[in-house]
Amino acid sequence: MESGVAQSRPLTAIGLRLLAALALTTLSMLVKLAGEQGVNLFEMIFWRQAMTLLVMIAFASATVGLAALKPVRFRAHVVRSTFGIVGMALVYGAVILLPLAEATTLNFTAPIWAVILSMLLLKEKIGRYRWSAVAIGFVGILIVTQPGGTPVDPKGIAVGLAAAFMVALISIQIQDLNKTEGSTSIVFWFCLLTTPVAALALPFVGRAHSPETWLLLGGIGLSGAAAQLLLTNSLRYGSAATVIVMDYTALLWATLYGWQVFDELPAATTWIGAPIIILAGSIIVLREGHLARQARKENRRVRPPEEPLVP
């Protein structure tokens, strides 16, 4: 089975995460373009998952071996995949309904939801630092959504916040799965279990496409697979606390794509609210990293010297 971190290479991990942010934003841009071409959301999900499945089989064959894909907790994979495909539909739906920068900004609220879910689901004690970050984050959300003013599409805002909530919930599920499953196995089973589900919708939503639209669908599949591999491998060379802040660079790419591809720039309130949300997420990430280091020190103090530490 794969190890959590192959070896510590912080600069490599950060570089991979920066490329992952670019790949994910490119994926969002292609999803938005395909939506404007009339491609159904579930058809996009099918091609994204089907192509990623093929890439993961090839990747596993070349690295960890196909035997490493055997699941230890199959039921946990089913639960993760169920939530995962709902989350993917919401993420893509937000991209279709909202300007790219606004959809990306709302996705940054995932760490805020993760703190709340950790308290509710994991019974984790949340201190003043993380509660302060949650409060700061919701101030940023209020600014971006402009209540009482001329708001961005309310339906899009609701879908975007729900998408971020699902991303946080799925992150907790993956954190649990990582205790027994390799990262490649987690991605593989997610694709394998959801591709047939998405295929069930094809007779109802599939349609003939122009060559340009097929190129968009191919790009969605390839950029999704690239993003998945880059995200997975960034965590092989560095901890989540080291690399996750790099995800915020996605806003730069989203703004650039929005300007160059869709001729749209973020509203003034997004320029104000986005840094506040990013600040809140950064506080949470830094605090999580501090708590993790403290826990490791405590483990070293209480374990007998002859007992090897479990990473």
* CB within 8 Å of 20: residues ≥ 6 apart: 227, 230, 231, 234, 246, 247
User: What are the DSSP calls for 187-227, one per residue?
Assistant: HHHHHHHHHHHHHTTHHHH-----HHHHHHHHHHHHHHHHH
How far apart, in whole angstroms, are the C-alpha atoms of residue 126 and residue 18?
29
> By mean pLDDT, which of 113-122, 161-170, 222-231 is the weakest?
113-122
Instruction: Spell out the domain ranges in the chain.
Output: 10-124+154-262
Instruction: Return the pLDDT at 1.
Output: 45
Phi, psi of 108 (to 5 degrees): -70, -10
> By mean pLDDT, which of 4-8, 166-170, 212-216 is the weakest?
4-8
First to last CA, the chain: 14
C-beta of residue 202 within 8 angstroms of C-beta of residue 41: no
Helix or strand (DSSP H, E) at 252: helix 250-262
> Mean pLDDT over residues 224-238, rounded?
81
To the nearest 10°, report the CA torsion of 213, 218, 220, 222. Answer: -160
Q: Of the candidates 240, 244, 236, 245, which has an alpha carbon nearest to the alpha carbon of residue 59?
A: 236
Instruction: Return the pLDDT at 40.
Output: 93
Q: Is the pLDDT of residue 303 over 70?
A: no
- pLDDT tens-digit readout, 60-85: 899 889 998 999 999 999 999 999 99
Q: Is the pLDDT of residue 306 over 70?
A: no
Alpha-helix residue ranges (DSSP H) falling in 37-182: 41-62, 74-97, 100-107, 110-121, 128-145, 154-177
Q: Tell me, yes or no, if the pTM score tops 0.75.
A: yes
Query: Residue 149: pLDDT band by 50, 70, 90 thresholds?
Result: low
Q: Of the candidates 104, 83, 81, 77, which has an alpha carbon nearest to the alpha carbon of residue 92?
A: 104
